[in-house]
Amino acid sequence: MERDQIRERFASAASMPKDVVLGASVITLLGRNEVCIENYRGIIEYTDTLIRVQTKHGQVRLCGKRLQIEYYTNDEMKITGRVISVEFGEGRENS
């Protein structure tokens, strides 16, 4: 059994949030104008039309207009602007 599967079963059995046990990212969309990302690893690309963020399990790609990172800390960030799409990719080199 894979390590992540064991952790996932443990999280379910212990009624613990998966983001805490697995280190999974939490992505919250508030309408089309605000995105909060928790548990990210780094910012890969940042323009006013594209923001790419590395997470433990891959990349998150936000496309839109007038995108702006309002703030970021070691474990969370808030992005504002007109969000057109959110895409998920695996690995570190997805564009």
Q: What is the pLDDT of residue 94?
A: 44
The answer to whether the predicted template modeling score (pTM) of the entire model surpasses 0.85 is: no
**CB neighbour list of residue 23: distance below 8 Å, 6 or more residues apart:** 39, 56
Neighbours of 15 (CB within 10 A): 6
How far apart CA 4 and CA 8 sit, in angstroms, is 6
Q: What is the pLDDT of residue 16?
A: 58
Helix, strand, coil percentages in the chain from 3-state DSSP, rounded to 5 = 15, 55, 30
Counting DSSP H helices and E strands in the chain, the numbers are 2, 6
pLDDT top residue among 71 and 24 = 71
Residue 95, pLDDT above cutoff 50 = no
The model's pLDDT over 6-54, given as tens digits with 9 standing for 90+, comes to: 656 655 655 655 555 556 889 999 999 999 999 999 999 999 999 999 9
